[in-house]
Amino acid sequence: MIEVINVWFTYPNGTIALRGISLRIRDGESIAIMGENGAGKTTLVKHFNGLLKPEKGLVLVDGINTKETSVAKLARKVGLVFQNPDHQLFSTTVEDEIKFALKNLGFPSEEIKERVDWVLKFLDLERYRERSPLSLSGGERKRVALASVLCVKPKILILDEPTIGQDAKQKRKLGELLKKYQEEKNTVIVVTHDVEFASKYFNRIVVMARGKIIADGPPNKVLTNPTILEESSLSPPQVTVLSHEIAKKINNFPKDIVLFDELLNEIIARLRR
């Protein structure tokens, strides 16, 4: 569990990035953190694994104050995948790249092998095992970067903008993988601008603007609220736009729809009536 209690954070250049954030993330949740550029999303997730320490307030990971532990110690529990894979890939083979975190965290060599095999299979990267991560395409590099963190099997997995540069098929695959990982009793947190991705694969949406949390709730409550969307420069999911348009013409048509299947069922149900 992550508890964020009234956290403030200012960068050395004077930008106040977080203004009194409070948030409780229970085990096994799937959360998408959304909001406009510069809202403080990345700053907030960097607090979850202790890379940044709150200037005021507290961040507790399973009851441990992040100020009193190291990033390396937290890395076993909290995995953070950065936005740009090129900021972390450096090994000669994909396999070595994945081993890096496992060796740092002192796993025994047999377990390292098991975990490498598992993660390569889980992310469908087996055929790249001997390839240089730097020679792979953008989307593949992103998956290798994910693998290099996922191999630790962190109880809390955080991804910063995982869908950027991924085609529709890869995005779907990624969404399903994250869902699968979350169903194994892990917490998955993403930072994203992709409303469709967030509403489809995540149960809780946290919206940030100007260093504050302005909304927190299930997708069909948050991503269908025009005031929240406007304030955070997000555009609603296409399905929501459509349901709002239908609601203009048909009385009592629900507006809080974010998923395609929901909309479809609603329409079919009404046609049959």
Q: According to the binding rule CB under 8 A, does residue 90 interact with another protein?
A: yes
Q: According to the binding rule CB under 8 A, does residue 66 interact with another protein?
A: no
Q: Which of 12, 14, 36 is nearest to 234 (CA)?
A: 36
**Span of 73-81, 162-170, 208-216, 219-227 interacting with another protein by CB under 8 A:** 73-81
Q: According to the binding rule CB under 8 A, does residue 104 interact with another protein?
A: yes
Minimum CB–partner distance for residue 265 and another protein (Å): 41
Contacts for 213-220: CB closer than 8 Å, 24+ residues apart = 213/21, 213/22, 213/23, 214/35, 216/23, 219/258, 220/256, 220/257, 220/258, 220/259, 220/262
Among 2, 89, 189, 205, which residue interacts with another protein (rule: CB under 8 A)?
Answer: 89
Q: According to the binding rule CB under 8 A, does residue 46 interact with another protein?
A: yes
Q: Which of 39, 38, 50, 19 is nearest to 158 (CA)?
A: 50
Among 1, 5, 51, 242, which residue interacts with another protein (rule: CB under 8 A)?
Answer: 51
Q: According to the binding rule CB under 8 A, does residue 75 interact with another protein?
A: yes
The sign one gets for the Cα dihedral 248, 250, 252, 253 is negative
Amino acid identity of residue 231, one-letter, is E
Which residues are near another protein by CB under 8 A?
12, 46, 49, 51, 70-72, 75-76, 79-80, 82, 84, 86-90, 100-101, 104-105, 134, 148-149, 152
